[in-house]
């Protein structure tokens, strides 16, 4: 899930103090001018390497906002929480990946675009426990200027990585396996699932208030943490995210059992991109791929 690359050197180019003070200034302006009622951002936690979400409502408190290379959380999850929802409009600090979540939420009518002011921070990868997250290898939105954000902060120029990402390499290996081996791989992964639903709780796009996993009459997914229910749950959750997942990979970060949800989501996101030329969370106008169709869609797999 994490990788030791040379990216930490590149991160040195970013002046986090500048980014942080810019965020604070902007937050102050937005609150003072009453353009927003809350600023959702990162604040310092007990550990410097683990910032915690903060919700600033008073312009005098903006110095509680921090920004550093450890700001890995996708804060957009809070936008759909009832307590926050009631206090629109908001401003939110987002990295490129998180900004895509915000777009996804707008597309699926969970929030109104006008209710949210996105402070898009340039990001060259975030670190968890000393290592840059593997999702950052494949990131195409390090500078969020090409996503619909209200304000871009920082301006990094990154050459797209030339070597295949760690995730892609792992995918390639999985795809080389026989079906049988792959099945065993995933069985081993899913068997560890304890059905804590942390993946779901942290996912900004798992916003159903009644999850299918808890539906009875009929119960499509066994709730017992056994192989059968675990397979169905993890498969269905991944499938529900087809064309919607923005690969923030918060689910695999949250998973206490280290299940490789990132691999599954990355695989599906790639298939969606290749099949339908669709990347989730990039465009307010584009319909999620499973809610539309093209007369010329592939049907090679259909007899």
Please give the residue ranges that form the binding site for another protein (CB under 8 A): 108-110, 174-175, 177, 179-187, 191, 207-212, 215, 217-218, 220-222, 224-232, 235-236, 238-240, 242-243, 264, 267-268, 271-272, 275-276, 287-293, 295, 297-299, 301-303
Minimum CB distance to another protein, residue 267 (Å): 5
Q: What are phi and psi of 38, to 5 degrees?
A: -135, 145
Query: For another protein, which is the closer residue by CB, 16 or 207?
Result: 207
Nearest-10 crossing angle of helices 261-276, 166-176: 90
Minimum CB distance to another protein, residue 191 (Å): 7
Query: For another protein, which is the closer residue by CB, 156 or 235?
Result: 235
Sheet bearing 151-153, strands edge to edge: 52-56, 38-43, 90-94, 116-121, 151-153
Query: For another protein, which is the closer residue by CB, 169 or 187?
Result: 187
Sequence-ordered list of residues with C-beta below 8 angstroms from that of 62, at least 6 positions apart, any chain: 24, 25, 27, 28, 31, 39, 56
Q: Where are the alpha helices (DSSP H) in 33-95?
A: 82-85
Residue environment code for 139-148, b if the CB has 16+ CB neighbours within 10 A, otherwise e: bebbbbeebb
Q: Give the total residue count for the chain.
A: 303
Minimum CB distance to another protein, residue 3 (Å): 22
Minimum CB distance to another protein, residue 187 (Å): 7
Query: For another protein, which is the closer residue by CB, 162 or 298?
Result: 298
Task: From 150, 122, 152, select the one nearest 36 (Cα to Cα).
Answer: 150
Query: For another protein, which is the closer residue by CB, 26 or 246?
Result: 246
Minimum CB distance to another protein, residue 190 (Å): 9
Minimum CB distance to another protein, residue 148 (Å): 19
Minimum CB distance to another protein, residue 258 (Å): 18
Triad 201, 202, 203: Cα angle to 5°: 95
Minimum CB distance to another protein, residue 283 (Å): 15
Query: For another protein, which is the closer residue by CB, 226 or 258?
Result: 226
Residue 106: CA count within 13 A, CB half-sphere: 22
- Residue 192 in contact with residue 256, Cβ under 8 Å? no
Query: For another protein, which is the closer residue by CB, 19 or 106?
Result: 106
Q: Where are the alpha helices (DSSP H) in 34-95?
A: 82-85
**Could you tell me the two tokens for 147?**
């996503």
Query: For another protein, which is the closer residue by CB, 26 or 263?
Result: 263
For residues 252 and 259, give the distance between their C-alpha atoms in angstroms, rounded to a whole number.
Answer: 6
Q: What are phi and psi of 159, to 5 degrees?
A: -75, 140
């Amino acid at each position: 899930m994490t990788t030791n690359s040379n990216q930490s050197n590149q991160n040195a180019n970013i002046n986090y103090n500048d980014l942080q003070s810019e965020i604070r200034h902007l937050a102050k302006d937005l609150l003072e001018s009453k353009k927003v009622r809350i600023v959702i951002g990162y604040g310092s936690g007990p550990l410097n390497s683990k910032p915690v979400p903060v919700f600033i409502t008073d312009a005098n408190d903006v110095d509680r906002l921090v920004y550093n290379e450890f700001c890995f959380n996708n804060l957009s999850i809070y936008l759909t929480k009832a307590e926050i929802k009631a206090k629109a409009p908001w401003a939110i600090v987002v990295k490129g990946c998180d900004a895509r979540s915000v777009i996804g939420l707008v597309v699926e009518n969970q929030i109104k675009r006008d209710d949210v002011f996105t402070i898009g921070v340039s990001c060259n990868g975030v670190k968890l426990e000393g290592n840059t997250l593997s999702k950052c290898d494949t990131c195409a939105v390090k500078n969020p200027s090409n996503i619909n954000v209200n304000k871009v902060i920082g301006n990094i120029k990154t050459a797209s990585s030339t070597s295949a990402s760690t995730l892609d390499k792992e995918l390639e290996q999985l795809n080389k396996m026989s079906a049988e081996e792959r099945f065993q791989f995933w069985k081993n992964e899913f068997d560890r699932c304890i059905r804590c639903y942390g993946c779901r709780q942290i996912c900004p796009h798992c916003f159903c208030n009644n999850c299918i996993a808890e539906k009875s009459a009929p119960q499509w997914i066994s709730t017992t943490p056994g192989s059968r229910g675990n397979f169905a749950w993890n498969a269905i959750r991944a499938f529900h995210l087809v064309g919607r997942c923005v690969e923030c990979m918060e689910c695999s970060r949250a998973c206490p059992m280290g299940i490789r949800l990132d691999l599954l989501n990355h695989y599906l996101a790639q298939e969606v991109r290749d099949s339908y030329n669709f990347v989730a969370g990039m465009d307010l106008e584009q319909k999620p791929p499973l809610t539309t169709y093209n007369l010329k869609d592939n049907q090679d797999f259909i007899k």
